[in-house]
């Protein structure tokens, strides 16, 4: 399908997630969503990545490692914040040791809200990332995996630094 003609390497960062978002992300590798058929792959090294996905509100412990990971990703790169915690601290807003949300702190340009977001929403966010990196700009006429009221990209980073 033409819409998937931009392959991307995805490096995932967990910055204080409860792992609920990761549970949904795991479905992307299964037969229903199967991102590998589009040439998208989860990569182990940030040096092989085009896209960085991040979950969680950004803990103190992850702030420096997350920044170092981003620095290791060659440009151009796109950062995708996944889940309410990353977008705006979610249920962790105001908690001790929690920052402004990974979306704000890492400068994500694509936000996928939800607690957790569905695999379809996450896949739609990755599609936007692929488009931002030079993939097709027009959405497919129909793609069942992305149907419904996807809010990808309609929510911006909302959080202010706690404390």
Binding status of residue 18 toward ligand SF4 by CB under 6 A:
yes
Binding status of residue 101 toward ligand SF4 by CB under 6 A:
no
How many residues lie near ligand SF4 (CB under 6 A)? 13
Stretch that binds ligand SF4, among 80-88, 102-110, 126-134, 136-144 (CB under 6 A): 80-88
In this structure, are strands 51-55 and 110-112 parallel, antiparallel, or unpaired? unpaired
Shorter beta-carbon distance to ligand SF4: residue 125 or 135: 125
Give the shortest CB-122-to-ligand SF4 separation in angstroms.
11
Shorter beta-carbon distance to ligand SF4: residue 9 or 83: 83
- Cα-Cα-Cα-Cα torsion 4, 14, 84, 49, nearest 10 degrees, comes to -20
DSSP 29-80: GSTTT-GGGGT-EE-SSGGG-SEEEEESS-BHHHHHHHHHHHHHSPSS-EEE
- Cα-Cα-Cα-Cα torsion 77, 80, 85, 89, nearest 10 degrees, comes to 50
For tokens 């979306």, name the residue: 103
Give the shortest CB-10-to-ligand SF4 separation in angstroms.
17
Give the shortest CB-117-to-ligand SF4 separation in angstroms.
8
Give the shortest CB-149-to-ligand SF4 separation in angstroms.
18
CA atoms of 124 and 61, how far apart (whole Å): 30
Which residue of the chain is nearest ligand SF4 when measured via CB?
Answer: 20
């Amino acid at each position: 399908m033409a819409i998937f003609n931009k392959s991307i390497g995805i490096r995932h960062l967990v910055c204080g997630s409860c792992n609920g978002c990761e549970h949904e992300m795991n479905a992307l590798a299964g037969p229903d969503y199967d991102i590998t058929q589009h040439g998208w792959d989860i990569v182990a090294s940030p040096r092989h990545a085009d896209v960085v996905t991040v979950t969680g509100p950004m803990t103190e412990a992850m702030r420096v490692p997350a920044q170092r990971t981003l620095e290791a990703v060659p440009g151009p790169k796109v950062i995708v914040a996944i889940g309410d915690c990353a977008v705006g601290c979610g249920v962790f807003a105001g908690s001790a040791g929690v920052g402004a949300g990974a979306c704000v702190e890492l400068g994500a340009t694509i936000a996928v809200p939800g607690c957790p977001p569905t695999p379809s929403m996450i896949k739609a966010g990755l599609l936007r990332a692929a488009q931002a990196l030079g993939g097709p700009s027009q959405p497919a006429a129909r793609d069942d995996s992305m149907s419904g009221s996807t809010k990808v990209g309609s929510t911006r980073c909302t959080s202010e630094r706690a404390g």
